[in-house]
Copies of this chain bind each other. A is one copy, B any other.
Amino acid sequence: MAEDEGTTESRAERKERTRRAILDAALALAADSNLAAISLRQVAKQVGVVPTAFYRHFGSLELLGLALVDESFRSLRLMLLDVWRHAPEYRDFIDGSLPIVADHVRDNRSHYAFIARERVAGPPRVREAINHEIALITRELSTDIARSGAAEQYSSTDIGLLADLIVSFVVTMAERLVEDPDSEARTLDQARTQLRMLLVGALNWRSREPADGGR
Contacts and interface: CB of A to CB of B under 8 A. Distances in A.
A203 B200 CA distance: 9
Number of copies of this chain in the oligomer?
A: 2
Interface string A142-171: 000000000000000010011011001101
A193 B118 CA distance: 28
Interface of A (DSSP majority class): helix
A36 interface: yes
Given A172-B172, A198-B201, A193 B161 contact: yes
Interface string A161-202: 110110011011001000000000000001001100111111
Nearest to A209: B196
A168 B121 CA distance: 18
A168 B165 contact: no
Interface of A: 33-34, 36-37, 116-121, 123, 158, 161-162, 164-165, 168-169, 171-172, 175, 190, 193-194, 197-205, 208
